[in-house]
Homo-oligomer: A and B are copies of this chain.
């Protein structure tokens, strides 16, 4: 008897029970002030993921040995931001309750707030590792306190001073940079502050959020607010893999906007990064044959 048509990210073939990591998409971009379109990221990534191999020659690990479940996309209410965040929080909480790691695929950066809310409830000592081109520290934006430009500020409301490490930042208002000096660990322009962050975050429960626009637009044009002067793919991949060596309790990847990625290359970048992060998170549990 023929079976229904199941679409998942590359090699994420486990079921919920088996999985240690649970992916879910949050197709939401209603507060995006510039060019919307990140709502399509998770769906397009699934469809394109068959263009990637399951094996990583970088880590000598294979997704076929990993235990990841893709729970699909949430159906979110556009235009009702608080409701969308509540739905994201509920999904993340459900995954955390089952002692699994939620891996959220945005959507715009604000979606992270839903997952952070869930994570901070389970881990009151939550710290945040944040890769981004933008500060995202506005207290409000055009009168709204829930906005992609405020997401880290809202996260700070939950975790407080000295818990947030921001790397790669190269855009923001003067006031945001000034505010950051008092409240977060902000490293400008690149990821060179990573060793310092890794040392500080050792052993802490970490929420790891990657705004893909931390990459230079030459590498990753498929995002709504391109900001030149960013890092290369290789730099981001290496840093993200290192970050996944921490005690990561939840993580996300946001701001791929497929409509701006005519060649599909940005989607391919996001997928390769996702594979490497999943493999690193799964590494302790993988006992596959090694080439070397």
Contact = CB atoms under 8 A, between A and B. Distances in A.
Interface in A1-60: 1-8, 15-17, 22, 29-37, 39, 43, 46-47, 50-55, 57-58
A263 B221 contact: yes
Contacts of A218: 216, 218-220, 232-233, 265
A215 B126 CA distance: 40
Q: Decide if the interface of chain A is mainly helix, strand, loop or mixed.
A: loop
A24 to B, nearest CB: 8
Given A57-B188, A142-B77, A262-B263, A2 B29 contact: no
Interface string A129-163: 00000000000011110110000000000000000
A217 B269 contact: yes
Interface string A179-192: 00100000011000
The interface size bin for chain A is: 35 or more
A177 to B, nearest CB: 6
Contacts of A195: none
Given A143-B80, A263-B260, A2 B31 contact: no
A5 B71 contact: yes
Contacts of A291: 174, 177-178, 181
A268 to B, nearest CB: 4
A36 to B, nearest CB: 4
Nearest to A219: B218
Nearest to A236: B228
Interface string A192-231: 0000000000000000000000001111111001111100
Given A47-B43, A78-B31, A94-B2, A83 B144 contact: yes
Interface stretch (A116-124, A165-173, A243-251, A279-287): A165-173
A73 B114 CA distance: 32
A266 to B, nearest CB: 8
